[in-house]
Structure 1
């Protein structure tokens, strides 16, 4: 265990953990199928991305990690194949766990490189029946690899989506990156308000008053499920170039969800 990281595991005052994955299953196994499902395929995923998502161990497995709190972590791995294509993994809890309001938190170590795009995010349970962005999307963490020290937190809904999403960023001190060490990314989500936090420090808040005139707040009437993925390429991060190294690893120490109080 990394002693300096112990404080990151402390339950927020007065809150109860209502769902968690510590990824403490045997080394070399995949994500717990009771908690996570794999999205599969190579459709571009609405963003002209390059990767094919798989359920193969080459793309998602539990590994030994001395910097993780319990000595192991889930790694999502983006790989370039011999033909020049890319594979990776995208996990979701749809139909297995969802929540309305609470703290949603993960301790993550991020990859880096041009065209690399890790995310930890949430979608409304209506996704698949309710068109995006009407279902709502809460992006807890996004990082684009050519900005390895910059964190983005974004809200998408009807009238404020894609390039018009409500976004704010925060940055690590100059010369440090999210690939150097684990950090804790979270949202505190309560009725009519969502706060974004990095290592316990608030950097972004949104309420219905921040929405475009007439746009609805779609974040209090339905549960949301969790997603973790590592994309390669896309309209926002751009595409890998000669400087991009593979494989790239996105490490997840834990995911925890707490009650509001």
Structure 2
């Protein structure tokens, strides 16, 4: 059963937060919902630095188990670190399912640098975390195509003891891990990690957005009452 369907005809501030819970929102605007898409783009703020932007449903929507899918086109440029994940922060624990994390500026096979000197993503990671720093399993999917050139579907089927990841509807990896906390949806464009630090070669502005066409979630029949 479909339980969540965000088509981004507008930015619904009753459903989405524009910052992660432990930070204040950066006042520099680098996101919008237009033409049926959420767009988050690299931008320097008043201090001259690139800054992280998180759009999530913390406190607005959460679910235990199910099938979660995003259709998106990724940004390009050194330092860009777009992600789609499920997360919770109950008490001191930090369970997490990273459906997609890409690092355009990372070394091959994460991506490549084109003739204009701009890094482009060709792979992404999927990881399951039982808690902060307690990894249950990870996988690097080598799509072998420029993920910033077209839209693709990134998904996970989450069952109590198994998380199965999909790319464009095809199963790519399974992790055997017990995950039973309700989680909320996170979409973000951060900077750093395996992508390195952004620099003058990193395109700024709406034209280089992490473009999300939709995010949807379904509940599996046998877990309807969970």
TM-score, shorter chain, exceeding 0.5: yes
Deviations 1:24-79 (CA, angstroms, capped at 9, x unpaired) = 13xxxxx2112111216997xxxxxxxx85365x3111123xxxxxxx21101221
Residue 155 of structure 2, aligned match among 165, 176, 186: 186
Unaligned runs of 5+ in 2: 106-110, 112-120, 222-226
> SS of the counterpart of 1:38?
coil
> Residue 12 of structure 2 corresponds to which residue in structure 1?
32
1:201-223 superposed Cα distances (whole Å, 9 cap, x missing partner) = 11110113xxxxxxxx3x12x21
Which residue, 120, 137, 162 being the options, matches 1:166?
A: 137
Residues 20 and 81 of structure 1: is their aligned pair in 2 closer, same or farther, counting only changes over 3 Å?
same
The number of residue pairs the alignment matches comes to: 205
Please give the residue correspondences for 1:37-116 in structure 2 after superposition, counting only pairs within 5 Å: 37-39=17-19, 53-54=25-26, 58-64=29-35, 72-81=36-45, 83-116=47-80
1:68 maps to what in 2? none
Deviation at 1:135, TM superposition (A): 2.9
Matched, 1:130 2:91: yes
TM-score, normalised via structure 1 length: 0.71
**Change in CA separation of 1:86 and 1:242 when aligned onto 2, cut-off 3 Å:** closer
Report deviation, 1:159. 7.9
1:153 to 105, 119, 126: 126
**Deviation at 1:19?**
1.0
The SS at the match of 1:194 is strand
Distance 1:159 1:223 in 2: 16
The offset of 1:89, in angstroms, is 2.2
Alignment RMSD (CA, Å)? 2.3
The answer as to 2:8 corresponding to 1:23 is yes
